[in-house]
Amino acid sequence: MFAPARVNLIGEHTDYSGGLVLPVAIDLGTTVEWRRLDGRVRARSLALGDVVEIGADGRGAATGWGRYVAAVVALLRERGRSDVGIDAVVSSTVPIGSGLSSSAALTVSIALALCRAAGFELEPLELAQLMRQAEGRAVGVPCGLMDPACVLLARRGHALLLDCGSEEYRHVPLPERLAVLVVDSGVRHSLEHSGYAERRAEVERGDARRLRHVTSENERVRHVVAALEGGDLDALGPLFRAGHDSLRDDFEVSTPELDLLVDLAYERGAVAARMTGGGFGGSIVVLAEADGADSLADEVVAAYRERTGRGGRFYVCSSVDGASVGL
Ligand code: GLA
């Protein structure tokens, strides 16, 4: 089973308060090759070289990435999946800690393998909600619905507009003229060890500055969708810029490296750029004219290296279908 990573165009830190998000599934992802196994779930990571082994009922000690596997098995069991084990090999092209939802790609690909092995099926949104819970159970991160929903529901050539409150969604076509770039700052982020849970608590407590971000960000998602659908690409730059500034100043989840990358991208002629994902490190997303996107990214990374001494990396992404499309 293959589950793609995602990059969020706009709608950041809005999902856990029932707001709007606009992510795209990209051609990086996690693959799980599996066969049935009696009584146990065994998963080997090609990248890390280690093996996780737990009971097919989800019991057993798991550490590191194995905590995600254990949480997925246990949650699917609670939802009625029978205890059919699998022997799985997990490989991934998603850089961990770069803000591209490596964990949702992992949980969704494992979950789909487990479901397939047991002949068990859930609606994509139900599975997405379960994978949202898996993140909480595995590493205590109270994340929102965006990542697993995008990993499951996205459509090639489109962004996914999802209302995380009503769970209504639709696909918004991406203009062919534009390339979607990800530039990784090389500063690893870990939601488990960042201020993510603290930000969520601040929003729930009603902190005025945090809420100002959420309210203005929801508006920006609406405007970005209108600009994409109306072909008004000039509107995208100021909207992404305002989104980035709001994450930096009102929500305080950006870093100097992400701020610099965004500035460099605009200086080098990006149509739009902003930090993407949970923040505290990770990547920026850039929309750029398709011809010229590679050289723009090259220049941004070279200037970034010169200024920071850090090895940034970039990906020119293709948008792909979510994991449940074609199942
Ligand atoms: C992480 C979480 C998402 C979302 C983003 C911020 O990716 O997993 O649920 O909250 O941060 O938009």
Does residue 279 line the site of ligand 1, with CB under 6 A?
A: no
Three-state DSSP at 68 gives: helix
Q: Is 147 a catalytic residue?
A: yes
Question: Ligand 1 centroid vs 291 CA: distance in angstroms?
Answer: 30
Can you tell me the distance from the alpha carbon of 162 to that of 50, in angstroms, rounded to the nearest whole number? 36
Single pTM value for the model: 0.97
Atom 9 of ligand 1, residue of closest alpha carbon:
144
Q: Max CA-CA distance within the chain?
A: 57
What one-letter code names the amino acid at 309? G
Which residue numbers in the chain have pLDDT < 50? none
Give Cα separations from 208 to 18, 133, 204, 213, 243 (angstroms): 17, 27, 11, 9, 17
At 326 the pLDDT is: 62
Relative to beta strand 85-92, strand 40-45 is: parallel
Q: What is the share, in percent, of the chain residues with pLDDT greater than 70?
A: 99
Does residue 243 line the site of ligand 1, with CB under 6 A?
A: no
At 181 the pLDDT is: 98
Closest C-alpha among 148, 154, 115 to residue 34: 115
Does residue 144 line the site of ligand 1, with CB under 6 A?
A: yes
Can you tell me the distance from the alpha carbon of 114 to that of 110, in angstroms, rounded to the nearest whole number? 6
At 268 the pLDDT is: 98
Give pLDDT tens digits for 198-239: 999 999 999 999 999 999 999 999 999 999 999 999 999 999
Give pLDDT tens digits for 265-318: 999 999 999 999 999 999 999 999 999 999 999 999 999 999 999 988 999 999
- The residues near 296 (Cβ < 8 Å, ≥ 6 apart) are 181, 265, 268, 269, 270, 286, 288
Which burial class, exposed, middle or buried, applies to 93 when counting CB atoms under 10 A from its CB (0-12, 13-18, 19+)? middle
Can you tell me the distance from the alpha carbon of 7 to that of 263, in angstroms, rounded to the nearest whole number? 19
